[in-house]
Amino acid sequence: MNTFHQGDLSGKQFLVTGGAGFIGSHIVEYLLANGAGKVRVLDNLATGSMANVTMFDGNPAYEFMEGDIRNPDTCAIACAGIMHITHQAALGSVPRSVKDPVTSNDVNVGGFVNMITAAKNAGVLSFVYASSSSVYGDEPNLPKQENRTGNLLSPYAVTKMANELYAGVFGKLYGMHVAGLRYFNVFGPRQDPNGPYAAVIPLFVTGILNKTPVHINGDGGQTRDFTYVDNAVQANIRAMLAENQTAFGEAYNVATGANYSVNFLYDAIGEILEIEHPPIHRDPREGDIRDSLADISKAERLLGYKPTEQFMSGLALTVEYFRKLNK
């Protein structure tokens, strides 16, 4: 495991909201593996899973709290005695938000305000939160730079932009150390391959392995800056523990700075698995952007972020994980 921090973590207490989820559980794993004094997880298990965190049971530094960020009292309890927060709890998925904007707003905006308010009241040292590349909307230029956003294309994107606006206000009004991370198509082990809003890479891998129908939305020429989960972990650790004061009050692209088409992704997975299984193309998805590519120079400059896994190396690790899971 790569190390993304300096110094001793044994005197530091962390809260990971959504810590039983895909990205959250990887952050928890990093913190515990590196000797954090306390790592508390807050999760309502709506999209997270206890299977992602059972490996931490028995670690004296680990604490699990089942609760919902839509409850302000729950948020206040979760923040007690905490120094650093990484807020990963959210309802992901553009299609889910298109189908049910009210619940996405309740969790992603209402829950965010509850959480950052509780963090303010508890006097935490840093509050890092998950934003999204969806905030770029229809802004046409590539690569995406943090200071240029367009018209938003989905309720999910609106919720994430609202997070950034609230964080900016809380940073200025209350002097909080906040930082937002605009994730670009994060993938890796423990990503959920099941359900109507499953992520594309686990869907592809399990579909090819099992020779079940695999759908590609549109012509498959749309491109994404696919980002292995270790890079998202790195950004969270560096942002939470940043000593450079100018790093706070900002939002950062978290990606690799390279993009690949969905068709290329599908073919690459088939090659790794050594299985030929043609996909089925269907209509494009509502609210999706066509092309995505991140400029990561701001995160490199202010956080010291440097991707440790590029697309192909991360994909090989991910495919192997799901191959073993499917045996």
Closest CA to 26 of 205, 191, 233: 233
Is residue 274 situated within a structural domain?
A: no
Distance of alpha carbon 5 from alpha carbon 20, whole angstroms: 22
Distance of alpha carbon 72 from alpha carbon 162, whole angstroms: 18
Whether 195 has a pLDDT exceeding 80, the answer reads no
How much is the average pLDDT of 291-306? 97
Q: What's this model's pTM, rounded to 2 decimal places?
A: 0.96
Q: Which tokens go with 176? A: 């909080």
- 3-state class (DSSP) for residue 208: helix
pLDDT by residue (tens digit) across 203-249?
999 999 999 999 999 999 999 999 999 999 999 999 999 999 999 99
Amino acid at 133: S
- The enclosing domain of 164 has a CATH number of 3.40.50.720
Give me the pLDDT at residue 166, please.
98
User: Which domain range does residue 96 map to?
Assistant: 13-187+229-255
Is residue 177 situated within a structural domain?
A: yes
Helix spans in 36-154 (H): 72-79, 94-99, 101-105, 111-122
Whether 197 has a pLDDT exceeding 70, the answer reads no
Is residue 113 situated within a structural domain?
A: yes
Max CA pair span of the chain:
56
Is residue 93 situated within a structural domain?
A: yes
Average pLDDT, the chain: 95
DSSP state, residue 135: G
Beta carbons of 236 and 19 less than 8 angstroms apart: no
Give me the pLDDT at residue 172, please.
98
Beta carbons of 87 and 98 less than 8 angstroms apart: no
Is residue 154 situated within a structural domain?
A: yes
156 is catalytic: yes
Is residue 195 situated within a structural domain?
A: no
Is residue 310 situated within a structural domain?
A: no
Active-site choice (62, 129, 156, 166): 156
Per-residue b or e along 127-139, where b marks 16 or more CB atoms closer than 10 Å to that residue's CB? bbbbbbbbbbbee
Question: Which helix or strand (DSSP H or E) is residue 87 part of?
Answer: strand 84-87
In the chain, pLDDT over 90 holds for what percent of residues? 92
- For the chain, the domain total comes to 1
pLDDT by residue (tens digit) across 161-190?
999 999 999 999 999 999 999 999 999 999
Is residue 8 situated within a structural domain?
A: no
